[in-house]
Every structure is written in C-alpha cells, then in structure tokens.
Amino acid sequence: MRTEPGSGKVVEFKEAQQRARRKALPPVDPREEQHRVRANLAALALAAVLIAVGWLLVQKLGASARMQDCLMSGRTNCAPIAITIPQQ
C-alpha cells in the first residue's frame, strides 16, 4: 500500500500499476476492435463446425464397427429390414 502524493489517500499498489499500464497503452481503434471481434466469432463458428463434424464422424464409425462386429460373428440379421405389409 502507498499514498498518492498530495492526495492523502491510500491506494493499493496493484491499482496504481493498472492505471499506469492503461496510460501507457495506445488508444484502441474501433475498427481494429471490430475486426478482432469478427475474427473471434469466425474462429468460434469454425470450432463449432469442426466439433459437430467430428461427433458425426465418431457416430458413423461406431455404427460401422458394430455392423462389422455383427457380421464377423456370423450373424445374418445384423441389419434387419423393416417390411410393411400393405393393408387390404
């Protein structure tokens, strides 16, 4: 803790460091900030698509593995076909 000269109040040292850092940073350009937000949203969308495609791929590979296991065990009803009898 320290006191600011001339103010007579006690200020946390971390707060003083944060203020000094903010003053040292260049001003933020709104166009640059907007571009950064768009890039982050695009990256998030790409990650969501990749996760969805990966999940679908895992599901399809799992179904294929179960079918192969069934066929390798010698069964003949691995993929039953639903037959609908027309009503007369």
30-66 pLDDT, tens digit per residue, is 898 999 999 999 999 999 999 999 999 999 999 999 9
Say which residue the tokens 């066929």 belong to.
71
> What is the pTM (predicted TM-score) of this model?
0.57
Compare 13 and 29 and report the one with higher pLDDT. Answer: 29
SS3 content of the chain, % helix, strand, coil (to 5): 60, 5, 35
Q: For residue 68, which of 55, 53, 60 has the smallest C-alpha distance?
A: 60
Q: Which residues contact 54 (CB under 8 A, 6 or more apart)?
A: none
- Give dist(CA 28, CA 13) in Å, integer: 25
What does the domain layout of the chain look like in residue ranges?
2-71
